[in-house]
Copies of this chain bind each other. A is one copy, B any other.
Amino acid sequence: MRPEEARPRLAQLGFRADDVETLAAHFLDAEARGQLGHGLSRIEWLETWDELNTEARPRRVESRPGYERWNGEGALGYLTLEAVIRSQLTDPPDRARLVVCSRTFPTGSLGYWVRRLAAGGLVAVLTATSPRRLAHPDGGEPLVGTNPLAIAIPSSDDAPIVTDVSMGAVTHGDVLAGRARAEELVPFGGSQSHKAFALALGLQLLVDALSPEDGFGAVLLVAPPEADPVPALRALAGGVRLPGDSFR
């Protein structure tokens, strides 16, 4: 699919105009960063869905100091995260806020969402669950998703650091696209893959324990920074490319 096809094909699926923009922006950003498994191939994937509810709207079901809970209500997870991100930027927490997102799937490139929060001056940590694809290194059935952890830290030099680590050695998108074999989708780490498995397991249970609703979800922590550690770290790193740096 060519980039200029993204918007018409999303519109054809029935999404309203602002949702088309939200989805296209996410997929095109993923393409530009080389994250092809989160890119335009996902539009083709959405075109295969039997039921695609383009009318559903995510809803904030609880809000109190330091805590919010959202429910996707059947909308695509991308659209729930978009609503959550916009809401945090409009009304940032005084000190910190945990945002639990129930029924939120798929969530796409988590780095994309936290990068926008960092661009708006907020520290952000985001994880999300997805179908069980990783087995325990000792064997058995798949128990956990690739459950990425993304962290974004704003910086006074206007170059936030964004880390976004999936616990899989390859992505499910790579498998779908034929760039990796299904049996390569194991916890990363080789002889220490028990570590990545443990991270995926802990993050999955965290999301599952904090959401009162069944189904996939996401957990976001957002906070204004109390310090500005990125410039000094970048100076110490010298010319080494750090996560989130432009690679072009």
Contact = CB atoms under 8 A, between A and B. Distances in A.
B192 A169 contact: yes
Nearest to A122: B209
Contacts of A223: 98, 210
Contacts of A238: 140-141
A204 to B, nearest CB: 8
Given A199-B165, A240-B140, A96 B66 contact: yes
B198 A189 contact: no
Contacts of A206: 123, 125, 151, 153
Given A223-B98, A225-B209, A64 B65 contact: yes
Contacts of A62: 95
Interface stretch (A37-45, A80-88, A229-237): A229-237
**How many A residues are at the interface, by size bracket?**
35 or more
A138 B228 contact: no
A228 B209 contact: yes
A138 B240 contact: yes
Interface in A97-123: 97-98, 100, 123
Interface string A180-213: 0000000011111001101101111110111110
A55 interface: no
Contact of A202 (B138, B151, B228): B151
Contacts of A236: 141, 143
A83 B167 CA distance: 33
Nearest to A114: B202
A36 interface: no
11 contacts: A64-B95, A66-B95, A95-B98, A125-B202, A140-B237, A141-B236, A141-B238, A149-B202, A190-B192, A209-B226, A211-B227
Interface of A: 62, 64-67, 93-98, 100, 123, 125, 136, 138-141, 143, 149-151, 153-154, 161, 163-166, 169, 188-192, 195-196, 198-199, 201-206, 208-212, 221, 223, 225-230, 233, 236-238, 240-243
